[in-house]
């Protein structure tokens, strides 16, 4: 849109006056933020309405991305950027003697997700709008987002995230679009005169699902899509017997986000949440469709529904229910429509994350849905036992072992199933979904994850963005593949120095931020070595920690090395004891290193509390090294690896998830690979001959490092040190930390050496930035659009680069 600085100043002052009856000089940053957000929303309103109208008029096929998590990050700056008015607004604010960054920082970060899965969903929302795809989000409006993390005495403490305290100016309550979701009770099936079954519900708990819509603004294209977040409320005419307790129980449904990442706790409230937003979404999609169509026959040509992990997999039986019970479609036709509409992404191979529900809980809470799952199960067995045998079908039918198995249900009820990086997609076919792959090989495919360079470079890394503009022009802002132009400057000494200077500037900024937030002074000339992601044993923050302890001991012995600053950001699930113990030990090591004047000139450790999207925007631009060190075969894709690469950090990585793609993109010389491969680890499992103690006994450096966990050298970690020591040595080190220790140290030594050659380092950073464009989520959603959702015509020139599973 077009907006001059002068126009903006007038309208902004006007809005502030209307809102607060005071001149802007009297307003707090929070108030200025509110005024600016509302003004921005007023700019979004027309294109938002126009986009909706156009989709309806042209009967555009629409995608509905169902996800129990969304992590959009702060929206003000990104909305201004995408509207194309960020520069004018910032100039206007500065003219008013206001500080744009201070105003932007007043926005609460909607933490409606845990980590990669939720952030990916939001990247896809941004990308779909930006490539002009009709893509809607469907999720939950949690009143409290992911807990706020604090450290007390080095221990993680969880505080409530009251993110809506000041309101959420981006949402609009659509009370006219509310639907009812039914739980519990029992179902009566009564044949009706017209021949179809009448389904009568008795004694159900009814919940009103009220949608709150959030605009998803496309980049410079006038498109505004919709993210619909559902809130649970008591039904309006609930009657005199409706108690306060019942009201409370209903409100609970959308009160909190479960803080577990890649883990399934099997709690009933979580099942309620899943059905709540899924049913509400399906009902509202069907209702909207039926306003302009008098049958459901063409539904699958207008609607694609994507199931982001299994949390919304109930979309399959729920759509069957609506088609049959409400729309009177027969089973076969309903199933044909459902299969054509639904697609599913798997995000993990970890068994503890694969969702299963006890049949008792499931059937009690969702009796009609359970009946439909039983029928799906019955027909699946009927169809495939003859060819594949009872034993195999028993393993993979939706019902088995007294459980509803959601990944199997999702695969059986979708026309497409994808993993999120090539290795992950291969392992899905080999292990977790092996048997289903035998039956439905054509459904399986890969869609490598992506990120949005708009947020990570254009907003998060302004110094780099400006340097790029100067050197290769601004085309990369529209098409990140244009970053490849950078290759032309691989021998441009001046430019390489500029690149290093930009990184140095970002490091100084982060040093300031660290000082302000945790009151720790860090040396901006150190190597900034970053590991930011959820705390999980398989991600091996512990390997990184052991590397730090080795460095500590080496420095104590008198070794000199370039100074390294280790930066961690990670939340642990509140019930994940081992992960919390690792946090405690990290913090203890940070203190020990910091208080030792022999060591602190060479080594520093900072664990930043409350890592999230907004903090990532500050850390990533300053990173020199990106630690992506999961046990091979365990990290489905990873996405912080892509973000850090795009900021020119060198990746220190195992051959896992999308690290493999990064290696293929930049070449072996521009990434630091170490550790066991997935094959080698599978070999250990098969033979059953991994003995972590052998590594401890053979390697004196490892020996010394592990002993530090239990010999009292690190103050205050008696319990935690012992538990970790035992996990590694008594319980045989489930994640092969000890096996990879030596090669991890060697890789780190190579990085230390490389850092002595700043120009060579800059060349490698350049290649990383240049090749990061391929990981733009814009391309990812286009591949989904062509190959799964069928909202983009399949074109022959598409090389299908990462579609081979
Ligand atoms: C989650 O964030 C991921 C997987 C899950 O099963 C759940 Br539950 C939450 C992550 C994977 O661990 C990452 O490897 C992946 O990059 C991300 O999902 C997005 O696909």
**Catalytic residue among 74, 228, 539, 774, which?**
539
User: Taking a C-beta distance cutoff of 8 angstroms, is the pair 778, 131 a contact?
Assistant: yes
Instruction: Tell me the CA–centroid distance for residue 638 and ligand 1, in Å.
Output: 7
Task: Report the nearest-CA residue for atom 18 of ligand 1.
Answer: 117
Instruction: Tell me the CA–centroid distance for residue 116 and ligand 1, in Å.
Output: 5
Instruction: Tell me the CA–centroid distance for residue 195 and ligand 1, in Å.
Output: 46
Q: Is 663 a catalytic residue?
A: no
Structure tokens that stand for 583 in this block:
């946090």
d(CA 516, CA 680): 45
Instruction: Tell me the CA–centroid distance for residue 777 and ligand 1, in Å.
Output: 16
Upper half-sphere CA count for residue 225 (Cβ side, 13 Å) = 27
If one residue of 262, 307, 425, 662 were mutated to test the ligand 1 pocket, choosing by the most ligand atoms within 8 A of its CB, it would be 262
Q: Is the CB of 113 under 6 A from ligand 1?
A: no
Nearest atom in ligand 1 to the alpha carbon of residue 309 is 6
Q: Is 347 a catalytic residue?
A: yes
Coil, strand or helix at 417: strand
If one residue of 270, 348, 407 were mutated to test the ligand 1 pocket, choosing by the most ligand atoms within 8 A of its CB, it would be 348
Question: In the predicted model, is pLDDT for residue 644 greater than 90?
Answer: yes
Q: Grade residue 242 by pLDDT with cuts at 50, 70 and 90.
A: confident
Question: In the predicted model, is pLDDT for residue 795 greater than 70?
Answer: no
Q: Is 795 a catalytic residue?
A: no
Residue 544: closest CA among 562, 186, 166, 535: 535
pLDDT digit string (tens) for 369-388?
999 999 999 999 999 999 99
Mean pLDDT of 436-459: 98
Q: Which are the contacts of 382, defined by CB distance < 8 A and separation ≥ 6?
A: none
Q: What per-residue confidence (pLDDT) applies to 196?
A: 77
If one residue of 65, 68, 112, 117 were mutated to test the ligand 1 pocket, choosing by the most ligand atoms within 8 A of its CB, it would be 117
Nearest atom in ligand 1 to the alpha carbon of residue 120 is 19
User: Taking a C-beta distance cutoff of 8 angstroms, is the pair 230, 280 a contact?
Assistant: yes
d(CA 318, CA 313): 9
Q: Is the CB of 71 under 6 A from ligand 1?
A: no
- pLDDT above 90 covers a percentage of the chain that reads 96
Instruction: Tell me the CA–centroid distance for residue 636 and ligand 1, in Å.
Output: 7
Q: Pick the range with the lowest mean pLDDT from 35-49, 299-313, 324-338, 781-795.
A: 781-795
Q: Is 639 a catalytic residue?
A: yes
Nearest atom in ligand 1 to the alpha carbon of residue 260 is 8
Q: Is the CB of 9 under 6 A from ligand 1?
A: no
Q: Is the CB of 419 under 6 A from ligand 1?
A: no
Task: Report the nearest-CA residue for atom 1 of ligand 1.
Answer: 117
Question: In the predicted model, is pLDDT for residue 803 greater than 90?
Answer: no
State how far the alpha carbon of 316 is from the alpha carbons of 169, 278, 414, in Å: 33, 9, 8
Residue ranges in 445-576 assigned as alpha helix (H): 453, 462-472, 475-478, 493-518, 541-556
Residue 498 burial (CB < 10 Å; 0-12/13-18/19+)?
A: middle
pLDDT digit string (tens) for 57-72?
999 999 999 999 999 9
Q: What per-residue confidence (pLDDT) applies to 794?
A: 66
Mean pLDDT of 404-414: 98
Q: What per-residue confidence (pLDDT) applies to 805?
A: 36
Question: In the predicted model, is pLDDT for residue 180 greater than 50?
Answer: yes
Mean pLDDT of 285-293: 98
Mean pLDDT of 114-138: 98
d(CA 33, CA 615): 19
Secondary structure, 3-state, 637-665: CCCHHHHHHHCCCEEEECCCCCHHHHHHH
User: What is the pTM (predicted TM-score) of this model?
Assistant: 0.97
Question: In the predicted model, is pLDDT for residue 193 greater than 90?
Answer: no
Q: Kind and range of the H or E element at 528?
A: strand 527-532
**Catalytic residue among 507, 533, 763, 783, which?**
533
Secondary structure (DSSP) of 598-648: TTTTTEEEEE-SS--HHHHHHHGGG-SEEEE-PPTTT-S--SHHHHHHHTT
Nearest atom in ligand 1 to the alpha carbon of residue 348 is 6
Mean pLDDT of 86-101: 98
Q: Hey, which CATH number is domain 453-675+738-773, 1.10.1530.10, 3.30.390.30, 3.30.1110.20, 3.40.50.2000?
A: 3.40.50.2000
Instruction: Tell me the CA–centroid distance for residue 776 and ligand 1, in Å.
Output: 18
Q: Is the CB of 425 under 6 A from ligand 1?
A: no
Instruction: Tell me the CA–centroid distance for residue 566 and ligand 1, in Å.
Output: 24
**Catalytic residue among 51, 310, 411, 639, which?**
639
Q: Is the CB of 449 under 6 A from ligand 1?
A: yes
Q: Tell me which fold the domain 59-74+109-446 belongs to.
A: Rossmann fold (3.40.50)
ipTM: 0.96
pLDDT digit string (tens) for 728-742?
999 999 999 999 999
User: Taking a C-beta distance cutoff of 8 angstroms, is the pair 762, 500 a contact?
Assistant: yes
In this chain, the answer to whether the domains covering 59-74+109-446 and 453-675+738-773 adopt an identical fold is: yes
Task: Report the nearest-CA residue for atom 13 of ligand 1.
Answer: 638
If one residue of 71, 115, 638 were mutated to test the ligand 1 pocket, choosing by the most ligand atoms within 8 A of its CB, it would be 115
Q: Is the CB of 782 under 6 A from ligand 1?
A: no
Q: Is the CB of 635 under 6 A from ligand 1?
A: yes
Instruction: Tell me the CA–centroid distance for residue 358 and ligand 1, in Å.
Output: 23
Do strands 356-358 and 444-446 pair parallel, antiparallel, or not at all (unpaired)? unpaired
Quote the mean pLDDT of the chain: 97
Q: Is the CB of 638 under 6 A from ligand 1?
A: yes
d(CA 129, CA 82): 10
Nearest atom in ligand 1 to the alpha carbon of residue 114 is 2
Mean pLDDT of 612-638: 98
Instruction: Tell me the CA–centroid distance for residue 117 and ligand 1, in Å.
Output: 5
Q: What per-residue confidence (pLDDT) applies to 798?
A: 46
Question: In the predicted model, is pLDDT for residue 530 greater than 60?
Answer: yes
Q: What per-residue confidence (pLDDT) applies to 144?
A: 98
Q: Is the CB of 257 under 6 A from ligand 1?
A: no
Q: Is 643 a catalytic residue?
A: yes
pLDDT digit string (tens) for 585-622?
999 999 999 999 999 999 999 999 999 999 999 999 99
Helix axes 76-83, 29-57, angle to 10 degrees: 50
State how far the alpha carbon of 348 is from the alpha carbons of 268, 339, 404, 407, 524, in Å: 22, 22, 18, 10, 37
Q: Is 580 a catalytic residue?
A: no
Question: In the predicted model, is pLDDT for residue 709 greater than 60?
Answer: yes
Instruction: Tell me the CA–centroid distance for residue 350 and ligand 1, in Å.
Output: 10
Nearest-5° angle of CA 705, CA 708, CA 710? Answer: 130
Question: In the predicted model, is pLDDT for residue 262 greater than 90?
Answer: no
If one residue of 113, 116, 313, 452 were mutated to test the ligand 1 pocket, choosing by the most ligand atoms within 8 A of its CB, it would be 116
User: Taking a C-beta distance cutoff of 8 angstroms, is the pair 116, 639 a contact?
Assistant: yes
User: Taking a C-beta distance cutoff of 8 angstroms, is the pair 284, 177 a contact?
Assistant: yes
d(CA 627, CA 23): 48
Structure tokens that stand for 566 in this block:
């280790």
Q: What per-residue confidence (pLDDT) applies to 546?
A: 98
Q: What per-residue confidence (pLDDT) applies to 799?
A: 43
Q: Which are the contacts of 94, defined by CB distance < 8 A and separation ≥ 6?
A: 100
d(CA 295, CA 329): 9
Domain range summary for the chain, segments of one domain joined by +: 59-74+109-446, 453-675+738-773
d(CA 679, CA 190): 56
Task: Report the nearest-CA residue for atom 7 of ligand 1.
Answer: 262
d(CA 734, CA 474): 47
**Catalytic residue among 347, 424, 447, 454, which?**
347
């Amino acid at each position: 849109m077009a907006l001059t600085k002068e126009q903006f100043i007038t309208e902004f002052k006007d809005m502030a006056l209307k809102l607060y009856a005071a001149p802007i000089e009297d307003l707090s940053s929070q108030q200025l933020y509110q005024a600016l957000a509302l003004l921005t929303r007023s700019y979004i309103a027309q294109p938002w309405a126009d986009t909706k109208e156009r989709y309806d008029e042209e009967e555009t096929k629409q995608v509905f991305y169902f996800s129990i998590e969304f992590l959009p990050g702060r929206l003000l700056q990104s909305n201004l950027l995408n509207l194309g008015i960020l520069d004018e607004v910032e100039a206007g604010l500065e003219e008013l003697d206001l500080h744009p960054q201070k105003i932007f920082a007043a926005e609460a970060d909607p933490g409606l997700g845990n980590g990669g899965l939720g952030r990916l969903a939001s990247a896809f929302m941004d990308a779909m709008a930006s490539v002009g795809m009709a893509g809607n989000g469907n999720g939950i409006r949690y009143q409290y987002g992911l807990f706020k993390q604090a450290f007390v005495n080095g221990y993680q403490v969880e505080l409530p995230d009251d993110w809506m305290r000041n309101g959420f100016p981006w949402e609009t309550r659509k009370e006219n679009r509310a639907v009812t979701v039914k739980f519990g009770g029992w179902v009566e099936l009564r044949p009706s005169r017209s021949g179809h079954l009448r389904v009568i519900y008795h004694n159900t708990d009814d919940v009103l699902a009220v949608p709150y819509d959030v605009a998803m603004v496309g980049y410079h294209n006038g498109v505004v899509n919709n993210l619909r977040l559902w809130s649970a409320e008591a039904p309006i005419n609930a009657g005199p017997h409706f108690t306060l307790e019942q009201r409370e129980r209903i409100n609970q449904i959308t009160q909190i986000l479960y803080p577990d990442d890649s883990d399934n706790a099997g709690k009933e409230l979580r099942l309620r949440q899943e059905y709540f937003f899924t049913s509400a979404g399906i009902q509202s999609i069907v209702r909207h469709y039926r306003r302009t169509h008098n049958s459901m026959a063409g539904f699958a040509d207008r609607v694609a529904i994507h199931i982001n992990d299994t949390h919304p997999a109930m979309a399959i039986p729920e759509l069957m229910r609506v088609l049959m019970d409400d729309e009177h479609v027969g089973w076969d036709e309903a199933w044909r429509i459902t299969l054509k509409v639904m697609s599913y992404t798997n995000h993990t191979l970890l068994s503890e994350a694969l969702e299963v529900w006890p049949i008792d809980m499931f059937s009690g809470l969702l009796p009609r849905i359970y009946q439909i799952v039983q029928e799906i199960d019955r027909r699946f067995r009927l169809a495939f036992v003859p060819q594949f045998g009872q034993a195999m079908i028993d393993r993979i039918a939706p019902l088995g072992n007294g459980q509803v198995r959601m990944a199997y249900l999702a695969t059986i009820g979708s026309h497409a199933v994808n993993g999120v990086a090539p290795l992950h997609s291969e392992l899905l076919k080999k292990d977790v979904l092996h048997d289903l792959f035998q039956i439905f090989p054509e459904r399986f495919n890969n869609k490598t994850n992506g990120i949005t360079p708009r947020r990570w470079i254009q907003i998060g890394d302004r110094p780099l963005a400006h340097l790029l503009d100067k050197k290769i022009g601004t085309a990369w802002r529209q098409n990140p593949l244009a970053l490849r132009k950078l290759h032309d400057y691989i021998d441009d000494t001046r430019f390489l120095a500029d690149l290093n200077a930009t990184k140095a500037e970002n490091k100084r900024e982060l040093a300031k931020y660290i000082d302000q937030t945790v009151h720790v002074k860090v040396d901006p000339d150190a190597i900034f070595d970053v590991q930011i992601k959820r705390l999980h044993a398989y991600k091996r923050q512990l390997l990184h920690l052991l590397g730090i302890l080795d460095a500590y001991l080496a420095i104590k012995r008198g070794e000199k090395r370039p100074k390294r600053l280790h930066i961690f950001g990670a939340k642990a699930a509140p019930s994940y004891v081992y992960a919390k113990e690792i946090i405690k030990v990290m913090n203890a090591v940070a203190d020990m290193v910091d208080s030792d004047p022999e060591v602190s000139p060479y080594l520093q450790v900072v664990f930043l509390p409350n890592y999230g999207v907004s903090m990532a925007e500050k850390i990533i631009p300053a990173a020199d090294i990106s630690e992506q060190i999961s046990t091979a075969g365990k990290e489905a894709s990873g996405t912080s690896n892509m973000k850090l690469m795009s900021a020119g950090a060198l990746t220190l990585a195992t051959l896992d998830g999308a690290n493999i793609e990064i290696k293929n993109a930049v070449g072996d010389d521009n990434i630091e690979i170490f550790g066991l491969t997935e094959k080698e680890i599978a070999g250990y499992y098969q033979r059953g001959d991994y003995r972590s103690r052998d590594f401890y006994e053979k390697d004196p450096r490892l020996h010394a490092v592990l002993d530090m966990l239990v010999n009292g050298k690190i103050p205050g970690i008696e319990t935690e040190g012992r538990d970790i020591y035992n996990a590694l040595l008594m319980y045989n080190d489930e994640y092969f930390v000890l096996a990879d220790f030596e090669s991890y140290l060697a890789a780190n030594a190579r990085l230390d050496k490389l850092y002595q050659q700043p120009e060579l380092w800059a060349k490698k950073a350049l290649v990383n930035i240049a090749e990061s464009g391929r990981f733009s989520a814009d391309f990812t959603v286009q591949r989904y659009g062509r190959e799964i959702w069928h909202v983009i015509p399949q074109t022959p020139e598409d090389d299908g680069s990462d579609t081979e599973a």
